[in-house]
């Protein structure tokens, strides 16, 4: 028997919005799913002790959101590109900080640098959510 794969964060959020396939959703619906996924990511990062699997799921979500925002900003659509452009650098910084936190966890464990990188990532995601609110 093949083990059932756990749904990604973005897939769970999309499903909660009655979106069967994020790839075929309207641009406005994609934007809403990405915003809600960022809120979900922030909630995950608020936890006291975050498992490696959860950090990897957040990493995947941030990557999916980044790629989705790039796609949305490259097409003529009604989505507010000013909001997307305003948060892209923070999103990239949050992603890089999370990548560092994961690497630190894997190589050295739960060090001060690991926790500082997570806190910086959480702060950036919070700032992004504030901007997109």
Overall size of the chain counted in residues: 133
Residue 40, domain member (yes or no):
yes
Residue 1, domain member (yes or no):
no
Find all residues with CB under 8 Å of 129, minimum gap 6, and list them: 35, 38, 39, 42
Q: Is 40 helix (H, G, I), strand (E, B) or coil?
A: helix
- Residue-wise pLDDT tens digits, 72-99: 988 887 777 788 888 999 999 999 999 9
Residue 2, domain member (yes or no):
no
Residue 90, domain member (yes or no):
yes
Whole-model pTM: value is 0.90
Residue 3, domain member (yes or no):
no
Domain containing 114 equals 9-132
Residue 39, domain member (yes or no):
yes
Find all residues with CB under 8 Å of 50, minimum gap 6, and list them: 44, 118
- For the cut 60, the answer to whether the pLDDT of residue 4 exceeds it is no
Residue 58, domain member (yes or no):
yes
| pLDDT score of 102 | 97
* Number of domains into which the chain is organized: 1
Spatial contact of 125 and 94, defined as CB atoms under 8 Å apart: yes
- For the cut 80, the answer to whether the pLDDT of residue 110 exceeds it is yes
Residue 33, domain member (yes or no):
yes
């Amino acid at each position: 028997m093949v083990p059932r794969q756990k749904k990604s964060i973005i897939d769970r959020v999309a499903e909660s919005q009655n979106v069967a396939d994020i790839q075929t959703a309207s641009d406005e619906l994609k934007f809403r799913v990405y915003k809600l996924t960022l809120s979900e990511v922030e909630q995950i990062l608020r936890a006291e002790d975050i498992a490696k699997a959860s950090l990897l799921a957040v990493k995947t979500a941030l990557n999916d959101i980044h790629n989705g925002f790039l796609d949305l900003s490259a097409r003529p659509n009604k989505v507010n590109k000013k909001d997307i452009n305003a948060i892209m650098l923070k999103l990239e910084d949050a992603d890089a900080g999370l990548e560092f936190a994961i690497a630190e966890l894997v190589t050295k464990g739960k060090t001060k640098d690991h926790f500082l990188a997570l806190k910086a990532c959480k702060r950036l995601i919070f700032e992004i959510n504030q901007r997109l609110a």
